[in-house]
Protein backbone atom coordinates (compact mmCIF):
# COMPACT_ATOMS: atom_id res chain seq x y z
CA UNK A 1 0.00 0.00 0.00
CA UNK A 2 1.51 3.36 -1.04
CA UNK A 3 1.64 6.29 1.37
CA UNK A 4 -1.33 8.22 -0.04
CA UNK A 5 -3.59 5.15 0.01
CA UNK A 6 -2.50 4.35 3.56
CA UNK A 7 -3.29 7.85 4.82
CA UNK A 8 -6.61 7.78 3.01
CA UNK A 9 -7.51 4.48 4.69
CA UNK A 10 -6.51 5.91 8.06
CA UNK A 11 -8.63 9.00 7.51
CA UNK A 12 -11.64 6.87 6.57
CA UNK A 13 -11.15 4.65 9.64
CA UNK A 14 -10.89 7.61 12.03
CA UNK A 15 -13.89 9.33 10.41
CA UNK A 16 -15.92 6.13 10.82
CA UNK A 17 -14.94 5.79 14.47
CA UNK A 18 -15.72 9.45 15.12
CA UNK A 19 -19.15 9.03 13.52
CA UNK A 20 -19.79 5.97 15.69
CA UNK A 21 -18.74 7.93 18.77
CA UNK A 22 -21.15 10.77 17.94
CA UNK A 23 -23.94 8.25 17.40
CA UNK A 24 -23.08 6.50 20.68
CA UNK A 25 -23.09 9.77 22.61
CA UNK A 26 -26.46 10.72 21.11
CA UNK A 27 -27.84 7.28 21.99
CA UNK A 28 -26.50 7.64 25.53
CA UNK A 29 -28.34 10.94 25.90
CA UNK A 30 -31.58 9.61 24.41
CA UNK A 31 -31.90 6.15 25.95
CA UNK A 32 -32.80 5.46 29.55
CA UNK A 33 -35.77 5.21 31.87
CA UNK A 34 -36.85 8.58 30.42
CA UNK A 35 -36.62 8.57 26.63
CA UNK A 36 -35.64 11.55 24.51
CA UNK A 37 -35.69 12.02 20.76
CA UNK A 38 -32.49 13.24 19.08
CA UNK A 39 -34.24 16.48 18.12
CA UNK A 40 -35.33 17.02 21.72
CA UNK A 41 -31.80 16.41 22.99
CA UNK A 42 -30.36 18.99 20.62
CA UNK A 43 -33.10 21.48 21.48
CA UNK A 44 -32.69 21.11 25.25
CA UNK A 45 -28.90 21.35 25.07
CA UNK A 46 -28.91 24.44 22.87
CA UNK A 47 -31.93 26.12 24.44
CA UNK A 48 -32.50 24.66 27.93
CA UNK A 49 -35.73 25.20 29.82
CA UNK A 50 -36.38 24.95 33.53
CA UNK A 51 -38.13 21.57 33.81
CA UNK A 52 -37.51 18.01 34.97
CA UNK A 53 -36.53 16.64 31.57
CA UNK A 54 -33.79 19.23 31.16
CA UNK A 55 -32.48 18.32 34.62
CA UNK A 56 -32.33 14.63 33.68
CA UNK A 57 -30.49 15.40 30.46
CA UNK A 58 -28.00 17.98 31.70
CA UNK A 59 -27.42 16.86 35.31
CA UNK A 60 -27.52 13.06 34.88
CA UNK A 61 -27.14 11.88 31.29
CA UNK A 62 -24.64 14.39 29.89
CA UNK A 63 -22.05 14.08 32.72
CA UNK A 64 -22.01 10.28 32.59
CA UNK A 65 -21.74 10.21 28.79
CA UNK A 66 -18.84 12.67 28.86
CA UNK A 67 -17.18 10.70 31.67
CA UNK A 68 -17.70 7.49 29.69
CA UNK A 69 -15.95 9.02 26.67
CA UNK A 70 -13.02 10.21 28.77
CA UNK A 71 -12.57 7.07 30.88
CA UNK A 72 -13.13 4.65 28.01
CA UNK A 73 -10.67 6.47 25.78
CA UNK A 74 -8.10 6.76 28.56
CA UNK A 75 -8.27 3.08 29.59
CA UNK A 76 -8.00 1.91 25.98
CA UNK A 77 -5.10 4.30 25.35
CA UNK A 78 -3.33 3.04 28.48
CA UNK A 79 -3.87 -0.53 27.33
CA UNK A 80 -2.42 -0.02 23.86
CA UNK A 81 0.59 1.83 25.30
CA UNK A 82 1.33 -0.88 27.88
CA UNK A 83 0.88 -3.67 25.34
CA UNK A 84 3.35 -1.82 23.12
CA UNK A 85 6.10 -1.29 25.67
CA UNK A 86 5.75 -4.81 27.11
CA UNK A 87 5.18 -6.38 23.66
CA UNK A 88 2.49 -8.55 25.25
CA UNK A 89 -1.16 -8.56 24.08
CA UNK A 90 -2.39 -9.77 27.49
CA UNK A 91 -1.16 -6.76 29.43
CA UNK A 92 -3.79 -4.22 30.44
CA UNK A 93 -3.80 -1.25 32.83
CA UNK A 94 -4.99 -3.36 35.76
CA UNK A 95 -2.33 -6.06 35.32
CA UNK A 96 0.31 -3.88 36.96
CA UNK A 97 -1.44 -3.44 40.31
CA UNK A 98 -2.60 0.13 39.66
CA UNK A 99 -6.24 -0.71 40.25
CA UNK A 100 -5.29 -2.72 43.33
CA UNK A 101 -3.51 0.23 44.88
CA UNK A 102 -6.48 2.50 44.18
CA UNK A 103 -8.82 -0.10 45.65
CA UNK A 104 -6.82 -0.25 48.88
CA UNK A 105 -6.87 3.55 49.16
CA UNK A 106 -10.62 3.80 48.60
CA UNK A 107 -11.47 0.80 50.80
CA UNK A 108 -9.38 2.16 53.69
CA UNK A 109 -11.06 5.56 53.32
CA UNK A 110 -14.52 3.99 53.43
CA UNK A 111 -13.72 1.82 56.44
CA UNK A 112 -12.34 4.84 58.34
CA UNK A 113 -15.30 7.01 57.19
CA UNK A 114 -12.92 9.75 56.05
CA UNK A 115 -15.23 10.77 53.20
CA UNK A 116 -17.86 11.79 55.75
CA UNK A 117 -15.51 14.23 57.46
CA UNK A 118 -13.53 15.47 54.43
CA UNK A 119 -16.16 15.68 51.70
CA UNK A 120 -16.95 14.20 48.27
CA UNK A 121 -13.45 14.62 46.84
CA UNK A 122 -12.01 12.26 49.46
CA UNK A 123 -12.71 8.98 47.65
CA UNK A 124 -11.24 10.05 44.27
CA UNK A 125 -8.25 11.58 46.06
CA UNK A 126 -7.69 8.39 48.08
CA UNK A 127 -8.00 6.25 44.97
CA UNK A 128 -5.48 8.32 43.06
CA UNK A 129 -3.11 8.40 46.04
CA UNK A 130 -3.25 4.60 46.28
CA UNK A 131 -2.64 4.27 42.54
CA UNK A 132 0.25 6.76 42.65
CA UNK A 133 1.96 4.95 45.53
CA UNK A 134 1.58 1.67 43.64
CA UNK A 135 2.99 3.14 40.41
CA UNK A 136 6.05 4.53 42.18
CA UNK A 137 6.55 1.29 44.12
CA UNK A 138 6.24 -0.93 41.04
CA UNK A 139 8.53 1.33 39.05
CA UNK A 140 11.11 1.51 41.83
CA UNK A 141 11.24 -2.26 42.38
CA UNK A 142 10.83 -3.24 38.76
CA UNK A 143 13.61 -1.09 37.35
CA UNK A 144 16.35 -1.74 39.89
CA UNK A 145 19.20 -4.04 38.88
CA UNK A 146 18.54 -3.04 35.28
CA UNK A 147 15.56 -5.35 34.74
CA UNK A 148 13.10 -2.99 33.14
CA UNK A 149 10.21 -4.56 31.24
CA UNK A 150 10.29 -7.97 32.89
CA UNK A 151 10.78 -6.50 36.35
CA UNK A 152 7.92 -4.04 35.93
CA UNK A 153 5.52 -6.73 34.77
CA UNK A 154 6.34 -9.31 37.43
CA UNK A 155 6.39 -6.75 40.22
CA UNK A 156 3.06 -5.31 39.07
CA UNK A 157 1.40 -8.72 39.05
CA UNK A 158 2.61 -9.47 42.57
CA UNK A 159 1.50 -6.06 43.85
CA UNK A 160 -1.91 -6.70 42.29
CA UNK A 161 -2.28 -9.96 44.25
CA UNK A 162 -1.15 -8.31 47.50
CA UNK A 163 -3.55 -5.40 47.00
CA UNK A 164 -6.46 -7.75 46.34
CA UNK A 165 -5.70 -9.57 49.57
CA UNK A 166 -5.59 -6.30 51.49
CA UNK A 167 -8.96 -5.26 50.06
CA UNK A 168 -10.47 -8.61 51.08
CA UNK A 169 -9.04 -8.13 54.57
CA UNK A 170 -10.68 -4.68 54.81
CA UNK A 171 -13.96 -6.08 53.50
CA UNK A 172 -13.88 -8.90 56.05
CA UNK A 173 -13.53 -6.42 58.91
CA UNK A 174 -15.85 -3.70 57.54
CA UNK A 175 -19.35 -2.90 58.73
CA UNK A 176 -22.20 -3.92 56.45
CA UNK A 177 -22.75 -0.31 55.29
CA UNK A 178 -19.06 0.15 54.52
CA UNK A 179 -18.93 -3.25 52.81
CA UNK A 180 -21.70 -2.17 50.45
CA UNK A 181 -19.78 1.00 49.60
CA UNK A 182 -16.58 -0.91 48.83
CA UNK A 183 -18.36 -3.47 46.64
CA UNK A 184 -20.26 -0.75 44.76
CA UNK A 185 -17.02 1.14 44.04
CA UNK A 186 -15.13 -1.99 42.97
CA UNK A 187 -17.79 -2.85 40.38
CA UNK A 188 -17.37 0.54 38.68
CA UNK A 189 -19.82 3.30 37.82
CA UNK A 190 -20.11 6.46 35.75
CA UNK A 191 -22.42 8.26 38.15
CA UNK A 192 -19.92 10.98 39.09
CA UNK A 193 -21.61 14.35 38.47
CA UNK A 194 -18.90 16.68 39.74
CA UNK A 195 -18.00 18.85 36.77
CA UNK A 196 -14.47 19.53 38.02
CA UNK A 197 -13.60 15.83 38.21
CA UNK A 198 -15.12 15.13 34.80
CA UNK A 199 -13.16 17.98 33.23
CA UNK A 200 -9.99 16.74 34.94
CA UNK A 201 -10.38 13.24 33.48
CA UNK A 202 -11.24 14.65 30.05
CA UNK A 203 -8.25 17.00 29.95
CA UNK A 204 -5.90 14.28 31.21
CA UNK A 205 -7.19 11.83 28.59
CA UNK A 206 -6.79 14.16 25.62
CA UNK A 207 -3.42 15.49 26.83
CA UNK A 208 -2.14 11.92 27.29
CA UNK A 209 -3.26 11.02 23.76
CA UNK A 210 -1.37 13.99 22.32
CA UNK A 211 1.74 13.22 24.37
CA UNK A 212 1.66 9.50 23.52
CA UNK A 213 1.29 10.34 19.81
CA UNK A 214 4.69 12.05 19.92
CA UNK A 215 6.16 8.62 20.73
CA UNK A 216 4.29 6.73 17.99
CA UNK A 217 7.41 6.32 15.77
CA UNK A 218 9.41 5.03 18.75
CA UNK A 219 6.63 2.55 19.61
CA UNK A 220 6.66 1.35 16.01
CA UNK A 221 10.40 0.74 16.31
CA UNK A 222 9.94 -1.03 19.65
CA UNK A 223 7.67 -3.59 17.96
CA UNK A 224 10.84 -4.98 16.34
CA UNK A 225 12.36 -5.62 19.79
CA UNK A 226 14.44 -3.62 22.26
CA UNK A 227 17.78 -4.22 20.55
CA UNK A 228 16.66 -3.36 16.99
CA UNK A 229 14.89 -0.28 18.33
CA UNK A 230 18.08 0.83 20.06
CA UNK A 231 19.99 0.37 16.82
CA UNK A 232 17.44 2.63 15.14
CA UNK A 233 18.26 5.37 17.64
CA UNK A 234 15.46 4.84 20.18
CA UNK A 235 16.38 5.22 23.85
CA UNK A 236 14.29 2.23 24.92
CA UNK A 237 14.91 2.64 28.64
CA UNK A 238 13.72 6.24 28.61
CA UNK A 239 10.80 5.36 26.32
CA UNK A 240 9.56 2.56 28.61
CA UNK A 241 9.89 4.75 31.70
CA UNK A 242 7.97 7.72 30.26
CA UNK A 243 5.16 5.70 28.68
CA UNK A 244 4.80 3.39 31.68
CA UNK A 245 4.38 6.37 34.02
CA UNK A 246 2.02 8.10 31.58
CA UNK A 247 -0.25 5.06 31.17
CA UNK A 248 -0.15 4.23 34.87
CA UNK A 249 -1.02 7.72 36.10
CA UNK A 250 -3.77 8.03 33.49
CA UNK A 251 -5.22 4.73 34.69
CA UNK A 252 -4.97 5.92 38.27
CA UNK A 253 -7.01 9.03 37.45
CA UNK A 254 -9.71 6.95 35.74
CA UNK A 255 -9.91 4.37 38.52
CA UNK A 256 -10.11 7.02 41.22
CA UNK A 257 -13.16 8.62 39.57
CA UNK A 258 -15.02 5.67 38.02
CA UNK A 259 -13.89 2.63 40.02
CA UNK A 260 -12.72 -0.63 38.48
CA UNK A 261 -13.89 -0.99 34.88
CA UNK A 262 -12.11 -3.95 33.35
CA UNK A 263 -11.43 -5.29 29.86
CA UNK A 264 -11.50 -1.91 28.08
CA UNK A 265 -7.72 -1.64 27.93
CA UNK A 266 -7.34 -5.32 27.03
CA UNK A 267 -9.96 -5.91 24.35
CA UNK A 268 -10.30 -2.65 22.44
CA UNK A 269 -6.62 -2.39 21.35
CA UNK A 270 -6.72 -6.02 20.18
CA UNK A 271 -9.91 -5.36 18.22
CA UNK A 272 -8.55 -2.18 16.62
CA UNK A 273 -5.30 -3.87 15.59
CA UNK A 274 -7.37 -6.19 13.40
CA UNK A 275 -9.32 -3.24 12.01
CA UNK A 276 -6.62 -0.60 11.36
CA UNK A 277 -3.28 -2.42 11.68
CA UNK A 278 -0.34 -2.19 14.05
CA UNK A 279 1.06 1.23 13.11
CA UNK A 280 0.83 3.33 16.28
CA UNK A 281 0.21 6.50 14.28
CA UNK A 282 -3.30 5.19 13.61
CA UNK A 283 -3.61 2.69 16.45
CA UNK A 284 -3.32 5.27 19.26
CA UNK A 285 -6.17 7.59 18.17
CA UNK A 286 -8.27 4.66 16.94
CA UNK A 287 -7.95 2.89 20.29
CA UNK A 288 -8.91 6.08 22.12
CA UNK A 289 -12.07 6.51 20.03
CA UNK A 290 -12.87 2.79 20.22
CA UNK A 291 -12.58 2.76 24.00
CA UNK A 292 -14.91 5.74 24.27
CA UNK A 293 -17.49 4.07 22.03
CA UNK A 294 -17.30 0.80 23.93
CA UNK A 295 -17.77 2.36 27.37
CA UNK A 296 -20.62 4.66 26.33
CA UNK A 297 -22.48 1.72 24.76
CA UNK A 298 -21.75 -0.45 27.82
CA UNK A 299 -23.19 2.26 30.05
CA UNK A 300 -26.39 2.33 27.98
CA UNK A 301 -26.73 -1.43 28.36
CA UNK A 302 -26.06 -1.18 32.11
CA UNK A 303 -28.88 1.35 32.46
CA UNK A 304 -31.54 -0.48 30.41
CA UNK A 305 -30.78 -4.19 30.94
CA UNK A 306 -32.81 -4.51 34.16
CA UNK A 307 -34.50 -1.08 34.23
CA UNK A 308 -35.53 0.64 36.43
CA UNK A 309 -32.56 -0.85 38.30
CA UNK A 310 -29.04 -0.27 37.03
CA UNK A 311 -26.26 -2.82 36.60
CA UNK A 312 -22.67 -1.92 37.54
CA UNK A 313 -20.86 -1.02 34.34
CA UNK A 314 -17.98 -3.31 35.30
CA UNK A 315 -20.34 -6.26 34.95
CA UNK A 316 -21.23 -5.22 31.39
CA UNK A 317 -17.64 -4.58 30.30
CA UNK A 318 -16.55 -7.88 31.86
CA UNK A 319 -19.17 -9.94 30.03
CA UNK A 320 -19.04 -8.19 26.66
CA UNK A 321 -15.29 -7.63 26.78
CA UNK A 322 -14.61 -11.24 27.67
CA UNK A 323 -16.88 -12.45 24.87
CA UNK A 324 -15.17 -10.13 22.37
CA UNK A 325 -11.73 -11.31 23.47
CA UNK A 326 -12.71 -14.96 23.05
CA UNK A 327 -14.13 -14.18 19.62
CA UNK A 328 -10.93 -12.38 18.57
CA UNK A 329 -8.63 -15.17 19.74
CA UNK A 330 -10.86 -17.87 18.23
CA UNK A 331 -10.84 -16.03 14.91
CA UNK A 332 -7.05 -15.85 14.94
CA UNK A 333 -6.78 -19.59 15.65
CA UNK A 334 -9.13 -20.41 12.77
CA UNK A 335 -7.14 -18.24 10.35
CA UNK A 336 -3.88 -19.76 11.59
CA UNK A 337 -5.31 -23.23 11.11
pLDDT, tens digit, 9 for 90 and up, residues 205-214? 999 999 999 9
Distance of alpha carbon 276 from alpha carbon 84, whole angstroms: 15
pLDDT for the residue numbered 122:
84
The sign of the torsion formed by the CA atoms of 154, 89, 83, 126 equals: negative
pLDDT greater than 80 at residue 337: no
Buried b (16+ CB within 10 A) or exposed e, 271-304: bbbeebbebbbbbbbbbbbbbbbbbbbbbbbbbe
Average pLDDT, integer, range 319-334: 78
pLDDT for the residue numbered 148:
59
Query: Which pLDDT tens digit goes with each residue over 260-306?
Result: 898 899 999 999 998 899 999 999 999 999 999 999 999 999 999 88
Collapsed DSSP state (helix, strand, coil) of residue 243: helix
Collapsed DSSP state (helix, strand, coil) of residue 142: helix
pLDDT greater than 70 at residue 334: no
Contact between 313 and 302 (Cβ < 8 Å): yes
pLDDT for the residue numbered 21:
97
CATH number for 3-336: choose from 1.10.3470.10, 3.50.50.60, 3.90.1170.50, 3.40.50.300.
1.10.3470.10
Average pLDDT, integer, range 74-94: 89
Give percent of the chain with pLDDT exceeding 70.
Answer: 93
pLDDT for the residue numbered 147:
47
Please report how many Cα atoms fall inside a 13 Å half-sphere around the Cα of residue 97, on the Cβ side. 26
pLDDT for the residue numbered 74:
95
Average pLDDT, integer, range 302-328: 87
Distance of alpha carbon 300 from alpha carbon 296, whole angstroms: 6
pLDDT for the residue numbered 144:
63
Q: Residue 262: left (phi > 0), alpha (psi -120 to 50), or beta?
A: beta
> Taking all residues of the chain, what is their mean pLDDT, rounded to a whole number?
87
Query: Which pLDDT tens digit goes with each residue over 104-147?
Result: 888 888 888 887 667 667 888 888 888 888 888 887 776 665 54
Give percent of the chain with pLDDT exceeding 90.
Answer: 36
The sign of the torsion formed by the CA atoms of 253, 257, 260, 265 equals: negative
Distance of alpha carbon 308 from alpha carbon 60, whole angstroms: 15
pLDDT greater than 50 at residue 37: yes
pTM, entire model: 0.91
pLDDT greater than 90 at residue 49: no
Contact between 241 and 296 (Cβ < 8 Å): no
pLDDT greater than 50 at residue 25: yes
pLDDT for the residue numbered 291:
96
Alpha helices by DSSP H, 31-148 = 38-46, 52-55, 62-86, 98-111, 114-118, 122-143
Amino acid sequence: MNISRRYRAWAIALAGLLALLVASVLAGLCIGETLFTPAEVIRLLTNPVDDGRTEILTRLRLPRVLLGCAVGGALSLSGVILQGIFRNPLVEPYTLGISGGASVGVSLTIVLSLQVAWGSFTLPAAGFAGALVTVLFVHGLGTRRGTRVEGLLLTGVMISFISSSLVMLLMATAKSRDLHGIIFWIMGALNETNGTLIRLVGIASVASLLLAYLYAPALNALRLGAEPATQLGVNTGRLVKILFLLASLLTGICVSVAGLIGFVGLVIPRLLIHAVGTDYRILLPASFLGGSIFLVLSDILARVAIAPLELPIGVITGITGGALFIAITSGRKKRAG
